[in-house]
């Protein structure tokens, strides 16, 4: 195990790196809301507008909390569950063929890696108040 303050610096780096995809996604979805709605429609997400707004809010708030070290375990669990559900719904590579199957399977596995990192972060917590 890494001793303090190194441990907390490593945890801070992990929090930021795990939060970045969600922060960028929330900003992109906000700036290009109609494209986000189209993406949700292709994925057959019910309650399209509500789901899009809820997704943007969750991704933005949770990523800011992870970066700032607020409610880290709770936000990490929320993002892990969200990512797992969204990944199973959108990246159903087992129903695809050819290159699309390969691309979606890679995204699926990358998302599972995010889920694993978030679960580990939930277990470890925020580290000392470095930020």
pLDDT of residue 9: 94
Has residue 131 got a pLDDT over 80?
A: no
Closest CA to 66 of 46, 44, 83: 83
Distance of CA 69 to the CA centre of its chain: 16
pLDDT of residue 57: 98
Q: What is the pTM of this model?
A: 0.92
* pLDDT bucket at 129, cuts 50 / 70 / 90: low
Which 8-state DSSP code applies to residue 2?
Answer: P
Q: Give the CB-side neighbour count of residue 110, counting CA atoms within 13 A.
A: 9
Return the SS3 of 4.
coil
The per-residue pLDDT for range 12-40, each reduced to its tens digit, is 999 999 999 999 999 999 999 999 999 99
User: Sign (positive/negative) of CA torsion 29, 35, 39, 44?
Assistant: positive
């Amino acid at each position: 195990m890494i001793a303090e303050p190194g441990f907390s610096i490593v945890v801070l780096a992990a929090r930021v790196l795990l939060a970045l995809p969600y922060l960028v996604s929330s900003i992109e979805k906000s700036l290009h809301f109609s494209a986000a709605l189209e993406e949700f429609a292709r994925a057959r997400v019910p309650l399209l507008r509500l789901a899009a707004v809820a997704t943007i809010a969750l991704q933005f708030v949770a990523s800011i909390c992870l970066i700032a070290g607020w409610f880290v375990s709770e936000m990490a669990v929320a993002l892990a569950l969200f990512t797992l559900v969204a990944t199973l719904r959108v990246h159903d590579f087992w129903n695809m063929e050819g290159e699309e199957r390969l691309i979606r399977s890679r995204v699926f596995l990358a998302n599972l890696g995010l889920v694993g990192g978030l679960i580990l972060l939930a277990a470890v917590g925020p580290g000392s108040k470095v930020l």
